[in-house]
Structure 1
Amino acid sequence: MPWAEVLSLLAMLAAGALWWDSFKSREAGMRAVRAACAAEDLLLLDDTVALASLRPGRDDEGRFRLRRVYRFEFSDTGDNRRDGQVTLLGSELVTLHLPHSNRSPLRSVGTPDEEQNRPFPRLPS
């Protein structure tokens, strides 16, 4: 088998692995956002998250992971749009930011010290 074919096959496999990892991370982000909006009685608009940033990072054990930041929109009154963001390292939730709304005080979630006070369960990896 010529080297060009081998390299092409490896490139396709790497692209497929990146796509699959991105799909799993996006689903983990959607679960976190849905849970946070349900806990705070907010309306998740468009029922989706959009990738805003993708860069390399390391987890607590020093392993290489992709750090993804997703943006989404929600409404606290039903008549407005507010921007939020969720950050994942691999498929693990790092932070979820919902700006303060007019109805209830919202908080940023994600540091290990606050793990006991999370309004939603930790996501599986």
Structure 2
Amino acid sequence: MISDLLAILALCFVCMLFWQQRRQSELAKTAIQRKCDQLELQLISTALKTHKIKTPDGVWRWHSIYQFEFSALGDDCYQGQLIMQGFHIVKFHLPPHRM
């Protein structure tokens, strides 16, 4: 009886984590598209790179790193990164590219 209840709670927790990750991914994709439109770049693809516990600054916080590819002139390809903590954008990293 208790084991069934714990299994149901565990399943609910996993479903909630999946739902929150999907929501964060959609927000990241929208933010990356908006940034590319703002800089007049063509977005090629977006992907979740990894989840980490420690930020590059050395602070212990859970964050997600999204990697995206973009093109400046149509015949080139560059890789940028977006770091998100929860549903908040922490940092965009765009490498130098041709204009």
Shorter-chain TM band: 0.7 to 0.9
Q: Secondary structure at the match of 2:52?
A: strand
Runs of 4+ in 1 over 6 A off after TM superposition: none
TM (norm. structure 2) is 0.85
Which runs of 5 or more structure 2 residues have no equivalent in the other structure? 55-60
Match of 2:83? 87
Percent of pairs identical after alignment? 29
Match of 1:43? 42
Which runs of 5 or more structure 1 residues have no equivalent in the other structure? 58-64, 104-125
CA distance in 2 between counterparts of 1:54 and 1:10 reads 24
Match of 2:22? 23
Deviations 1:72-108 (A, max 9, x none): 11001111211111010001000011111111xxxxx
Deviations 1:34-71 (A, max 9, x none): 1110011100003xx211111346xxxxxxx7411010
Residue 31 of structure 1: how far off its partner (Å): 1.5
Tell me if 1:98 matches 2:94. yes
TM (norm. structure 1) is 0.69
CA distance in 1 between counterparts of 2:62 and 2:11 reads 19
